[in-house]
Amino acid sequence: MNWKSIGTTWLVLAALAAGTGGAGGVAQAQAKAVFTATPGHWVAKGTSAKTADLLVIAGYKNVNNGMSFNGYANGQLKVTIPLGWKVNVKFENPSPIPHSVMIVPAATKGKATGFTPAFPHAETPNPSRGYSGKGAQMFTFTASKAGTYLIWCGVPGHGIAGMYDTLVVSKSARAPSFSA
Ligand SMILES: [Cu+2]
């Protein structure tokens, strides 16, 4: 190993330790290590500045026959994120029916298929197919434009059946919050 490669390794380790890593993979690893949102406390300040942790659980307490997130359907749960904050989303689906999460424009309401995320990377992998079972899926996006959006299941037919919550990106909010 020459000095140059030692230096590079040190920079990567320093970025991991300081929480300043720019790569999505680094951010996701950190969010898994210390995730501040918990069931019933769905969104919270993250461990880095201007970062929110948002937990989304499909079919929680089987509300709306499982077509729900965090125990709410039809947009009744409202999550507020300050404009410009980074959001780490952790998605769990312990039910046997595949589900997914996308952050989509409010105009998506009423559509059965053809969903596009409102922000880059604001979706779980392969959202039209979804996943079920153990573990969690994570993604991170930046709430870069104020407005009202939906936390939407991308499996065709689920959103239109009520499987969505509301997400507001707010210019005036100073901290993440939720209400129902
Ligand atoms: Cu679903």
Given a cut of 80, whether residue 8 has pLDDT beyond it is no
For residue 159, the CA-to-ligand 1 centroid distance in Å is: 7
Question: How far is residue 177 from each of residues 77, 97, 129, 143, 173, measured CA to CA in Å?
Answer: 11, 29, 30, 14, 9
Domain residue spans in the chain? Answer: 1-33, 35-179
Pairing type for strands 102-105 and 164-170 reads unpaired
- Tell me the β-bridge partners of 105: 149
Question: What residue type is 61 in one-letter code?
Answer: K
For residue 158, the CA-to-ligand 1 centroid distance in Å is: 5
Q: What pLDDT is attached to residue 129?
A: 97
Mean model confidence pLDDT for the chain: 87
User: How many other CB atoms are there within 10 angstroms of residue 15's CB atom?
Assistant: 14
For residue 136, the CA-to-ligand 1 centroid distance in Å is: 15
For residue 73, the CA-to-ligand 1 centroid distance in Å is: 11
For residue 173, the CA-to-ligand 1 centroid distance in Å is: 29
User: pLDDT tens digits, residue range 112-155?
Assistant: 999 999 999 999 999 999 999 999 999 999 999 999 999 999 99
Pairing type for strands 177-179 and 43-45 reads unpaired
For residue 6, the CA-to-ligand 1 centroid distance in Å is: 46
Q: What pLDDT is attached to residue 28?
A: 53
User: How many other CB atoms are there within 10 angstroms of residue 160's CB atom?
Assistant: 17
For residue 88, the CA-to-ligand 1 centroid distance in Å is: 20
The dihedral through the CA atoms of 114, 115, 118, 119 has a sign that is: negative
- For residues 109 and 157, what is the distance between their CA atoms, to the nearest angstrom? 11
For residue 112, the CA-to-ligand 1 centroid distance in Å is: 11
For residue 50, the CA-to-ligand 1 centroid distance in Å is: 29
Domain over 35-179 is classified CATH 2.40.128.110: no
**Is the Cβ–Cβ distance between 152 and 103 less than 8 Å?**
yes
Given a cut of 50, whether residue 21 has pLDDT beyond it is no
Q: What pLDDT is attached to residue 43?
A: 98
For residue 156, the CA-to-ligand 1 centroid distance in Å is: 8
Instruction: Provide the 8-state DSSP code for 65.
Output: G
User: pLDDT tens digits, residue range 75-89?
Assistant: 999 999 999 999 999
Q: What pLDDT is attached to residue 9?
A: 36
Q: What string of DSSP letters covers 129-152?
A: T-B-SSS-EEEEEE--S-EEEEEE
For residue 37, the CA-to-ligand 1 centroid distance in Å is: 21
DSSP helix/strand/coil, 19:
coil
